[in-house]
Chains A and B, each alone.
Chain A
Amino acid sequence: MHYDIRLVIGYDYSRPVEAGRHVLCLTPPGGAAGQSVGACRLTVVPRPDEWLNRQDFFGNDMVEIAFRDAVSHMRFEMDARVERLPAPSPPGAPAALADIAGELSAVRDLGPLSPHHFIAPSARAAPDEAIAAFARDVTGHCASASAAVIALGEALHRTMAYDPEATAVDTPAAGAFALRRGVCQDFSHIMIIALRSLGIPAGYVSGFLRTNPPPGQPRLEGADAMHAWVRAWCGREAGFVEYDPTNATSAGEDHITVAVGRDYADVAPVRGVMRSAGWQVTRQSVDVRPVTDID
């Protein structure tokens, strides 16, 4: 499926302030599995005085910008045409849940795709006993790692209510879990913590969802803003599988990847803004439209 994607994020401040330096993680990379990027353009208003493109450790496209003078507003616009293939079936069988630790220790690699990066606690996904107990409860019957992923994702979807008012961007995952409420970021962090507690390396995927569903299917939650889901390592043969706990579905043709990381902190769309208090997101919109006829 081909999509035309448009993302707009606007920030405003009541008076000009030293805006400084930001790192943007907003553009889908061509190299992500299962997708190819036809065209992509990022526009920043006002025009930054410095602009650096680079890839981060995990291969995500990052843009570092800096303003010399004080600014009172900032606007980021991203337009891309992306082809997304249906989720491929895993290249091999998943590991048994009991074997996952052994398989992990046999991986002698620290490259960007190595599962080792995704097992340790990370900045926004700290271990939590309540979440770990929940994970044990709902996966007790699972034999394989991927069965545990699905069981956990479905259990979270049953237990948690999608509620954009309940949490904020900096609410800890344990707090959202205690409330049993949250948005895609909370669902994903809770699932990552849960998977890691089971010994399954898990990371965070940021991206977009198709805005309007195909005829006859329900609209997915989280389509109005940037979305997030989870990737979990299910052994050496199966590799990483992606699962969207907010919608209790495997990430597939409707999910367009922007970046992968250990948690939100690695792939925050705009870093640097929060340093000066008073900035407000005054606009955020995402439009992901299927392109029906391609020339």
Chain B
Amino acid sequence: MKDVMTDALTDPSPEPLAGLLRHYRPEPGVPDEMLDGRGEVRPIWRDFLSRIARMSAQERAQRMERGDLYVRETGMFHRQYGAEGSVERDWPLSHFPVLVDEAEWEHVARGLKQRADLLEAVLADLYDGNRLVAEGLLPPTLVARNPEWLRPLAGVRPRSGHYLHFVAFDLGRGADGAWRVLADRTQAPSGAGFVLETRIATAHVFSDIYTRAPVHRLAGFFRAFREALQAQRGNDGGRIAILTPGRHNETYFEHAYIARYLGFLLVEGEDLAVRDGRVMVRTISGLQPVSVLWRRIDADWTDPLELNDASRIGVPGLVSTVRRGGVTMVNALGSGAVEMPGFSALLPRICETLRGEPLLLASTLEHETAALSTTPAFVDGRLRPRRLGLRMFLARTEEGWAVMPGGFARIGASGDPAALAMQRGGAAADVWVMSRGTADRQTLLASATVGAQRTTPYLPSRAAENLFWLGRYVERAEFVIRLLRAWHVRLVETGLPESALLRHLAAFLRIYGAPPDGGIPQGLSAAVGSALAAAGQVRERFSVDGWMALNDLDRTLRKAVPRAEPGADAARMTGVLLRKINGFSGLVHENMYQSMGWRFLSMGRALERALAMVDALAWFAEPAAPEGALDVLVEIGDSVMSHRRRFAVATNRDTVIDLLALDPLNPRAVLFQLRQLDAHIDALPGSGPDAPLTALERAVVRLCADVATAGTDELDSAQLADVAARIRALSDLLAAAYLG
């Protein structure tokens, strides 16, 4: 690293740098992060800029494309609200990081720590004592009219002893060059997960520069917070969970990301219940305790019983549990009270009174927001000054407040300071805190786990349900694709769409809502759409690769399939889809940790595959089926080679039934899948060698035995219909026992 720095300083490459900055003209009187008052590049930017300057325009464009690609592929999104309702949008990445000097950063951090302590003290007063009101430092109407001052929490001391555990502050640099606080975020601040993702995306753009630059890393901050939350659990045996409003929230992506990154459970209100003064999560093993709830829901919505009774995303009894000290809330319910408008103007006096010291960081008054600083952003290949808003994060640890050495920069869509909000077209950029010495190089992606504490993870029933249906829908999609391919391949061979066989096939496809007459078959897009929806609710349980594979499949389906001509073109297209869906299945089934979640996904797949094959056997192996139907069956069962090897004869009803229904070694056979199902069910909570058989176990054991002992001649259409009904009943039994 050292040589890199000297290299840059001795070779400042003035000409390319001048070219890079040619169009960069900060407004007069507006401070700029990159250029000082005389228009000179500030020292911390020099090395970074000279490297950018030496790149060709094409290289810069390629690098930025790399960042955008990362954003797209990881499915980073935020939800944008407009007249037409809300839509998910790709994360608007502003590729250029904001560089901040370490010494300046530490100065601001000191001020923010003081402010966080002060807000903590104010909350303690607001909920217990009201000295500030009695002494005239706080107008009582400001508190009494504040909807975030929650009367049911008055007099309740948090179990942890603290109201605030994780806070954020929005800052801007004023015209005089000093940082000011624009807003305090004490309720349920969002953005920390986006910081991580923005960092990774930016590191994709400037990988060579980032790895060698003295940029403070973020992992240590998150590890410290994680350990602090773990310490909050005490010895009560409960877990840490993140409470999200659900996937329709504008920052759901972040909730899932943080949950996965820190290894916390992600739950929605309906996953939780209150029992005897504790918060419990509904899992496939019954109710299990939660000790720490990191909420991403505004307090008013967390308990319909004592707070907003219109809430459907809360947990009835949560406030009561908090009152009894049964759970630690991050942050405490009611901590949004210090976000009240008009309050920051009173802080200097309150700080003098409560802490006996002056407030270090001033707040911005309303009319001053017009004077935010500017920072460079690439706009149409050129650097342009854009307004900057900064969000910084603080976490309470055993050693006091830790300040994240980085943050979330909002970059305005224009020079107008009002255009910062991402809802209004603004973008997000990484913040690099530049060390004077060696930066903390802890890698971001390494697990934050200390030691090898092994705990059995909870599987919430809702997550299990989504995984189960994900398994079913993906399998259904694959089955439909195989059917479509069989149809198009035969069309190529015969050119006769009205032949008896093709009509028979098309009729079967119609049952699945997928007639082969051009366009995206509705049944197929529904299956893939449902799979995506189910996966979207358990994103934190998924590898990024698995999620990307599924999205890729969906994109191909929507973009390429409508353009495919019936016949050879469509046959080739279905082949592509098949490979993509197998890519997903491979990732999941080869690489996924074999947890209970994996079992539910696998059970969904096994059940759907058995069911589809039984349906197909009843349709294509019935005596009246047209000639060639048995070969179609063997082909959609992916068993052409097996049939050839096992039977010396051409397909007949017996060989096909044997291979696709009764063969215990063929993964496409009904019996094989039922036995898979049986093995998974045996491993579920409540099952076991010593326990009496559950209704579900009994049903699957009997079904396996009946299918295994059936002769090929016994499995006629009526029998197959009976087997199908019994498989569907298994799905219902499973849902009743584990997914309720």
Q: Do A and B come from one complex?
A: yes
Taking CB atoms, residues of chain B closer than 8 Å to A58 are 151
Is there a chain A Cβ closer than 8 Å to B357's Cβ?
no
A23: which of B275, B306, B308 is its contact (CB, 8 Å)? B306
A82 / chain B contacts, CB cutoff of 8 Å: none
Which chain B residue lies CB-closest to A110? B130
B133 and A109 contact, CB distance less than 8 A: yes
Is the CB–CB distance between B316 and A107 below 8 Å? no
Q: How large is the interface on A (under 10, 10 to 19, 20 to 34, 35 or more residues)?
A: 20 to 34
Residues in A16-75 with C-beta less than 8 Å from chain B: 20-23, 50, 52, 54, 56-58, 64, 66, 68
| Neighbour of A265 across the interface among B134, B141, B309, CB < 8 A | B309
Stretch at the interface among A85-93, A113-121, A136-144, A217-225: A113-121
B152 at the interface (CB under 8 A from A): yes
**CA A112 to CA B662, docked complex, whole Å:** 74
Tell me if A271 is interfacial: C-beta within 8 Å of chain B. Answer: yes
Which residue of B is nearest A120, CB measured? B145
A57 touches B144 (CB 8 A): no
What's the tally of chain B residues with a CB closer than 8 Å to chain A?
A: 26
- Are A117 and B305 in touch, CB under 8 angstroms? no
Assess whether A271 is in contact with B140, with CB atoms less than 8 Å apart: no
Asked if B708 lies at the interface with its beta carbon under 8 angstroms from chain A, I say no
Residues in A167-200 with C-beta less than 8 Å from chain B: none
Assuming A66-B274, A271-B305, is B317 touching A21 (CB within 8 A)?
A: yes
> Residue A105 at the B interface, CB < 8 A?
yes
Q: Does A272 contact B (CB under 8 A)?
A: yes
Contact call A50/B276, Cβ cutoff below 8 A: yes
**A66-B317, A108-B134 known; A117 vs B141 contact (CB < 8 Å):** no
Contact B154 A57 (CB under 8 A): yes
Give Cα A20 to B134, complex, Å: 40
A268 CB to closest chain B CB (Å) equals 8
- Does B304 make an interface contact (CB < 8 A)? yes
Contact of A107 with B140 at beta-carbon distance under 8 Å, contacts A20-B316, A57-B151, A57-B154 already known: yes
Residues of B within 8 A of A57 (CB): 151-152, 154
CA distance A114 to B130 in the complex (A): 12
Given A110-B130, A110-B133, A272 and B144 contact (CB-CB distance below 8 Å): no
C-alpha spacing A58/B154, complex, angstroms: 10
The answer for the CA separation of A254 and B141 in the assembled complex, in Å, is 34
Interface string of B135-161 (1 = CB under 8 A from A): 110011101110000011010000000
> Looking across the interface, which residue of chain A has its beta carbon closest to that of B155?
A57
Given contacts A64-B320, A109-B133, A109-B134, contact A119 B144 (CB under 8 A): yes
Interface contact B316-A119, CB-CB below 8 Å: no
Inter-chain contacts of B316 with A (CB < 8 A): 20-21, 272, 275
- The answer to whether A110 and B152 touch across the interface, beta carbons within 8 angstroms, is no
CB-CB nearest in chain B for A64: B320
Cα A20 to Cα B317 in complex, Å, equals 10
Q: Which residues of A contact B141 (CB under 8 A)?
A: 104-105, 116, 119-120
A2 to B135, CA, bound (A): 43
C-alpha gap A57/B307 in the complex (Å): 12
Q: How far is the CA of A79 from the CA of B320 in the complex (A)?
A: 26
Q: Do A114 and B320 have beta carbons less than 8 Å apart? A: no
Tell me the minimal C-beta distance from B521 to chain A in angstroms: 37
Across the interface, name the chain B residue whose C-beta is closest to A68: B275
CA distance A64 to B277 in the complex (A): 11
- Which residue of A50, A120, A271 is within 8 Å of B144 (Cβ)? A120
A105 cross-chain contacts in B, Cβ below 8 A: 139-141
CB distance from A25 to the nearest CB of B (A): 12
Of all chain A residues, which has the CB nearest B320?
Answer: A64
Beta-carbon contacts under 8 Å, B288-345 to A: 304-306, 308-309, 316-317, 320, 323
B304 contacts across to A, CB distance below 8 A: 272, 275
Contact among B130, B135, B305, B309 with A21 in the assembled complex (CB-CB below 8 Å): B305
Q: Which residue of A lies closest to B147 (CB)?
A: A120
Residue in contact with B274 in the complex, picked from A21, A23, A119, CB distance below 8 Å? A21
Q: Please state if B144 and A117 are interface contacts (CB–CB under 8 Å).
A: yes
A11 CB to closest chain B CB, in angstroms? 16
Query: A274 to B144, alpha carbons, bound, how many Å?
Result: 28
Residues of A close to B274: CB separation below 8 A = 21, 66
Q: How far is the CA of A64 from the CA of B308 in the complex (A)?
A: 17
Closest B residue to A121 by beta carbon equals B145
Cα-based distance from A20 to B316 in the complex (angstroms): 8
B144 touches A116 (CB 8 A): yes
Contacts of A52 in B (CB 8 A): 320
A138 to chain B, nearest CB (A): 26
* Interchain CA distance A117-B274 in the complex, whole Å: 30
**Interfacial chain A residues near B154, Cβ < 8 Å:** 57
Please name all residues of chain B whose beta carbon is closer than 8 Å to the beta carbon of A120 when the two chains form the complex: 141, 144-145
A104 to B151, CA, bound (A): 20
Chain A residue nearest in CB terms to B141:
A116
Residue-wise, chain A 219-262 has the 8 Å CB interface mask toward B (1 for contact) of: 00000000000000000000000000000000000000000000
Give the shortest distance, in Å, between B271 (CB) and chain A (any CB).
15
Contact B306 A110 (CB under 8 A): no
Q: Which residues of B contact A114 (CB under 8 A)?
A: 140, 144
Distance of B672 from chain A, by nearest CB (Å): 39
Most buried by B among A20, A104, A265: A20
| 0 or 1 for each of A116-157: is its CB under 8 Å from B? (1 = yes) | 110110010000000000000000000000000000000000
Bound-state CA distance A23–B317 (Å) is 9
With beta carbons under 8 angstroms apart, the residue of B130, B305, B308, B323 that contacts A272 is B305
B341 to chain A, nearest CB (A): 14
Chain B residue numbers with a CB within 8 Å of A104 are 141
19 additional contacts (CB under 8 A) given A20-B316, A116-B140? A22-B305, A56-B152, A57-B151, A64-B317, A68-B275, A105-B139, A107-B140, A108-B140, A110-B133, A111-B130, A114-B140, A116-B144, A117-B144, A117-B151, A119-B144, A120-B145, A271-B305, A272-B305, A275-B316
Which residues of A pack against B, CB within 8 Å? Answer: 20-23, 50, 52, 54, 56-58, 64, 66, 68, 104-105, 107-111, 114, 116-117, 119-120, 123, 265, 271-272, 274-275
21 contacts between A and B (CB under 8 A): A21-B305, A52-B320, A56-B152, A57-B152, A64-B305, A105-B140, A105-B141, A108-B133, A108-B140, A109-B130, A109-B133, A110-B130, A110-B143, A116-B140, A116-B141, A116-B143, A119-B141, A123-B308, A271-B309, A272-B305, A275-B316
Chain B interface (Cβ within 8 Å of chain A)? Answer: 130, 133-136, 139-141, 143-145, 151-152, 154, 274-276, 304-306, 308-309, 316-317, 320, 323
5 A-B pairs with the lowest CB-CB distances in the bound complex, closest first: A116-B144, A57-B151, A120-B145, A21-B316, A116-B140
